[in-house]
Amino acid sequence: MKRSIYFFLLLLGPVAFAQTPLNVDKEFAFAAKQYELMLKSHPDTTKFPQSTKPDGSPDDRKSDWWCSGFFGGSLWHIYERTKAPVWKEAAHKWTMAVAKEQYNTGTHDLGFMLYCPFGNGYRLTKNPIYPPILLTGAKSLSTRFDPKVGVIKSWNKFQNYTYPVIIDNMMNLEFLFWASRVSGNKAFYNLSVTHADNTIKNHYRPDYSSYHVVCYNPDGTVAAKKTAQGYADNSAWARGQAWGLYGFTVMYRETKDKKYLDFARHIADFYLNHPNLPADKIPYWDFNAPNIPNEERDASAGAITASALLELCTYGGPSAKTYYQSAVKMLESLSSPAYKANLGENNNFILKHSVGHKPQKSEVDTPIIYADYYYLEALLRYDALRKKPGF
Ligand code: GLY
């Protein structure tokens, strides 16, 4: 009897214990169906899908909200996969809906707002109307860089501070590198390097976790290190760690300076080795949230991190396999019913369970558009890697 059970388990083993392989076709088929419903429920391109309100109704925002580019960007991801003209048309429509933000000098978020839709759109279609919009946007963004301070200003005010810089700002640099290449204007490149170097100097702790907000004095010295969206000034807000990881991985891609690669690896190691990272590898909203394990997860941080790791692993090194396998685990978790919505539910967003701003009780355990954007990007990266020899 014992022997036969053993034999049966042996036969069953690979099936029973193997992780469900990610099926990119299936995930994109679902995303397309869900976003068909999202498009139907959003006929007006001045109302951008963002999240869900506490009463369960859709929370839409205007084009000047920092997330306005993620819906168009997500539609481009679906077009990239399906190549169907209907997605190209929808993506173009929602991309152009953000165009007026190219003149917006009041935010540091133009990388998210413009490069996610127009950058992906241009990469996929070479539509000549996109680059001038991007280049105007890059100029607008660069007006927020004061060379005496050496960083791009994020918000105009935070508490009593007038030059706050958030770690999220690392995500705008990819846009400026693109602008530098296309325009030949090296200033965009140089200011990005300066911003990144000062971020290494001032935003990171010895364990490679990041503060959320660093407030600068006019001479570039640091006035205060704070949090806005994290649990505490000294805590590791999960999405902030993800933004930094993604940002420094891009810094290495764009400059080939090994110091950025080493830095991104340190951030990845902090994140992946953290004792509070759950087994499914989707973090709590803050690694130091006080009531872990009774705290909300942040699927958006998981999606951003998966995408960043799928780039970082391509640069080799002793941890490349760990980065790849961890990213796959994150994508498997996000693609499971624990995080992925049912068709027609979740206000037609793909992923559930993100946290926007817990201290303000805003977007707590809701879908958020950027979780979908980075999840789809990570699926595309995963699929591209799987087709490469050695992965
Ligand atoms: N402040 C941008 C974010 O919530 O990640």
Q: Which residue has the tokens 């979908």?
A: 372
Rounded Cα gap, residues 371 and 298, in angstroms:
9
Per DSSP, the three-state class of 351 is: strand
Which domains does the chain possess?
Answer: 5-386 (1.50.10.10)
pTM recorded for the entire structure: 0.94
The DSSP letter of residue 22 is: P
CB 229 near ligand 1, within 6 Å: yes
Q: Which of 66, 363, 368 to mutate to test the pocket of ligand 1 (most atoms within 8 A of CB)?
A: 66
Structure tokens at 359: 């201290």
> Catalytic pick from 59, 60, 168, 298?
168
169 within ligand 1 shell (Cβ under 6 A) = no
- Does 144 sit in the ligand 1 pocket, CB within 6 Å? no
Q: For residue 389, is pLDDT > 90?
A: no
Determine the average pLDDT of the residues in 145-163.
98
CB of 227 within 6 A of ligand 1: the answer is no
pLDDT of 1 > 50? The answer is no
Q: What are phi and psi of 372, to 5 degrees?
A: -60, -45
100 alpha-carbon distance from chain centroid: 23
Listed in sequence order, the DSSP H helices in 320-389 are: 320-334, 369-386
Cα 126 to ligand 1 centroid, rounded to whole Å: 30
Per-residue pLDDT, 387: 84
Hey, which of 152, 229, 364 would you mutate to test ligand 1's pocket, going by the most ligand atoms within 8 Å of its Cβ?
229
β-bridge mates for residue 164, sequence order: 215
- Respond yes or no: is residue 109 known to be catalytic: yes
pLDDT in tens, 169-213: 999 999 999 999 999 999 999 999 999 999 999 999 999 999 999
Catalytic site residue 168?
yes
Over residues 221-233, the pLDDT tens digits come to 999 999 999 999 9
Q: Average pLDDT, stretch 243-254?
A: 98
